[in-house]
Chains A and B, each alone.
Chain A
């Protein structure tokens, strides 16, 4: 049986988070518009006679993205009209870039499914305007132009990915970079970031590029991976049954988990691209490009390398933190304020802290706990003022409190201070042993593992305050004493 290899390329559409739209001064923050069709003007609704004016900030952000994807920035830029009719496209054409995009020929290093590094070539990055939003009703559709004209970046990769995992890894990394640059929130639910996958399959070992299909409007990583995986399987089946894959545009039906044909090759649009005569070519100055280059922040890869070195973390450990710039920054702040080791901070942050975020569905932006107080808490555990378990209790208290609070205060209130007073612990042990004669018998009969169970009873009786090392010593000694 033929072994097949998938060939995947991605087009990523990322709205830029500029204040105003791509070609007019309307607010681009359409998700916070009070009502439909409030952030609009003659330009973004395509009224007769209205003309576009370029948004400098959008050019700047596009340049930043191009540079961080190792692209060459084209000094001579032109805009083009992409002509087609649709109610979400008020002018009957979209202003986009065609033969001279702002950035081209870049690359991004990712980890593939076997965790080995691989390079994906970025063919081009170009600027265009987003379309309006349609709301389909039973017998009609409504158009909201608040989104029309929002700057949109299209990042096009070569078909370099050979597994769904690699595609996911690439998409995840692009998202992280966009968030690092502060040009896109990465919100896929709202469509601020969306994907299109070009998929084909070929016999493993072959280098041909077979007919591909294009899956549009993938609005989550889950949709991206499921749709690509489905499409790969579907195409393999077509070949296995002696058929041919047809070039077409597909949609993804999330509910049924299938791709659906939207448009065949014969219905493909002829977009009649031509240079936008309302915008003169944009000449970018070399010095200006260099000044943008200087604004580039430390990107995920560089941060990861630094974290591995500076904090002695393993790659996976570091990447848990550096996937999100805000988390990485928070980590560094806690480390700088804490006397404990970076490793300890890392395990608190990626352990209990992240568990809390996952369980409560919160993001770092929702967390009010200051790095200083988090550091203070970690140090209290490190210096054994409280037990690790108590530490977790206090951390959850602090996270729930939604305000800055002193961990030592909570320790006091909850009476959680760790006790190393042997008298107090001994008292508890004596009571537990006399309450549980059967378990004592088992220990004396040679079942030493029962010590763990008894330790649990001690912790419960002392409400977790007993220093576990001291408690264990005392417990074993007391038990041994009964042998005689």
Chain B
């Protein structure tokens, strides 16, 4: 029995039927992580003590047979942008390298309450700024499918830990594709829920109006299970929806026959790798075989998605990152400081990486007097157009289908000297975040032995349809069941 390839559902059944204890499962997971992860470097922190304590408590719950949830006793990994009380939370930045939160994010608390076992915190691009995990200020994470290649970003560690079998599920965060793009690179299932579906309280903000926490799993069934646990209204996050959370797993097996998939024509233009396009076309044919109708749709403002996304990101991030000033937590560089301004300058100079500094400067510029209207305000207006694009397209079809990335995972170092080219790798995933719509990433095949990802994009709060359509695909394909052989 290979524990590291178990789905959440399988592991949960084994725990419930006492074929294995949570402590045993957790120990095996930790042991594998200590063995394998030095090659992958997906974890920033392995929380052995916390994990074993939580596993023990989970076993007590299981023994009593009380308050059991599908996540009780299941080891998981958490992106290092989400606050975990007592376990350091770095955002893969020097400025937070030794920061230990005093409180739990709502998502952390919900998972703890459900009895899930926190294995560790996963690497990411610093503050979520990047598409390859190479912008981590701590170390670079490698793609388990090919150690020369990047896992994608910014939730690269989350995707890699999942693909390498170093956790049973993983919590990522998607600001502009940060769950879906690495999921695609690493052959993992992952969802960016509707904006406001999952509480952001305790998530260290990159872009407050884009950020969405979402699970990364082995299949759609697990993804639905985890989302159901972490979703819902939070009195501490005023941007969460007050509507009830559906039982996402309930309609998974409902037929997709007769439903319509929209193919955004703007996404199928030059720039896409032939191997990626081929895999996506095959997926479309698979759906046709399942009785779905295929219809071309238009998202006419797609060409503006990237500039709008980045402009708003720069602006909000420049403000969100202001609190890292060296006075209360994290790095404080005050050697030879003459005054508090010196402390700010030194701390932020030493604490932030180049990409973070670049984005803060661009954001402060876009918000300054005299430029606000031309940049920030204009971008917000176009954002409304992007949102309408999706609403209009989705009014005639049930879901949209698109790749998660124009290429498969690229090589480490390939794009680090060209920020603009790096930005372009997010071309298919960024528009959903300004629009707020949910999108599910699924493994869709391989090109040159590297995974290809596709995404299904749905209507606001209609995650259920995404899961239904995604599940139907995974019932007739086994891409998601492929596991990498970790090389040396």
Flag the segment in B162-170, B317-325, B436-444 that touches A.
Answer: B317-325
Q: Is the CB of B364 within 8 A of A272?
A: yes
Knowing A42-B102, A46-B328 touch, does A53 contact B238 (C-beta < 8 A)? yes
A141: nearest residue on chain B (CB-CB)? B340
A84: nearest residue on chain B (CB-CB)? B322
Total interface residues on A, CB under 8 Å, equals 30
Partner of A277, one of B202, B316, B329: B316
Q: Which of A45, A143, A270 has the most CB of B within 10 A?
A: A270
Q: For the complex, give the distance between the alpha carbons of A29 and B129 in Å.
A: 40
B327 CB → nearest A CB, Å: 5
Q: Is the CB of A87 within 8 A of B340?
A: yes
Q: Does B368 contact A (CB under 8 A)?
A: yes
List, in ascending order, chain B residues with CB within 8 A of A83's CB. Answer: 318-319, 322, 367
Q: Which of A272-290 contact B (CB under 8 A)?
A: 272-274, 277-280
List, in ascending order, chain A residues with CB within 8 A of B344's CB. Answer: 85
Q: Does B275 contact A (CB under 8 A)?
A: no
Q: Is the CB of B209 within 8 A of A277?
A: yes
Q: Is the CB of A49 within 8 A of B202?
A: yes
Q: Does A468 contact B (CB under 8 A)?
A: no
Q: For the complex, give the distance between the alpha carbons of A151 and B319 in Å.
A: 21
Q: Is the CB of B364 within 8 A of A51?
A: no
Q: Does B235 contact A (CB under 8 A)?
A: yes
Chain B 77-115 interface 0/1 with A at a Cβ cutoff of 8 Å (1 = within): 000001100000101000010010111010000000000
Q: For the complex, give the distance between the alpha carbons of A92 and B322 in Å.
A: 5
Q: Is the CB of A48 within 8 A of B325?
A: no
List, in ascending order, chain A residues with CB within 8 A of B201's CB. Answer: 49-51
Q: Does B203 contact A (CB under 8 A)?
A: yes
Interface residues on B, range: 35 or more
List, in ascending order, chain A residues with CB within 8 A of B318's CB. Answer: 83, 272
Q: Is the CB of B322 within 8 A of A91?
A: yes
Q: Is the CB of A270 within 8 A of B368?
A: yes
Q: Is the CB of B364 within 8 A of A48?
A: no
Q: Which of A234-280 contact B (CB under 8 A)?
A: 270, 272-274, 277-280
List, in ascending order, chain A residues with CB within 8 A of B454's CB. Answer: none
List, in ascending order, chain B residues with CB within 8 A of A48's CB. Answer: 83, 89, 91, 96, 99, 101, 204-205, 323-324, 329
Knowing A46-B328, A49-B204, A270-B368 touch, does A93 contact B239 (C-beta < 8 A)? no
Partner of B325, one of A42, A92, A141, A280: A92
Q: For the complex, give the distance between the alpha carbons of A45 and B316 in Å.
A: 19
Q: Does A36 contact B (CB under 8 A)?
A: no
Q: For the complex, give the distance between the alpha carbons of A92 and B376 in Å.
A: 19
Q: Does A191 contact B (CB under 8 A)?
A: no
Q: For the complex, give the distance between the alpha carbons of A92 and B321 in Å.
A: 8
Q: Does A433 contact B (CB under 8 A)?
A: no
A84 CB → nearest B CB, Å: 9
Give me the interface of B with A, judged by CB distance under 8 Å: 82-83, 89, 91, 96, 99, 101-103, 105, 200-205, 207-209, 235-239, 315-316, 318-319, 321-325, 327-329, 340-341, 344, 364, 367-369, 372, 376
Give me the interface of A with B, judged by CB distance under 8 Å: 42, 45-54, 81, 83, 85-87, 90-93, 141, 143, 270, 272-274, 277-280
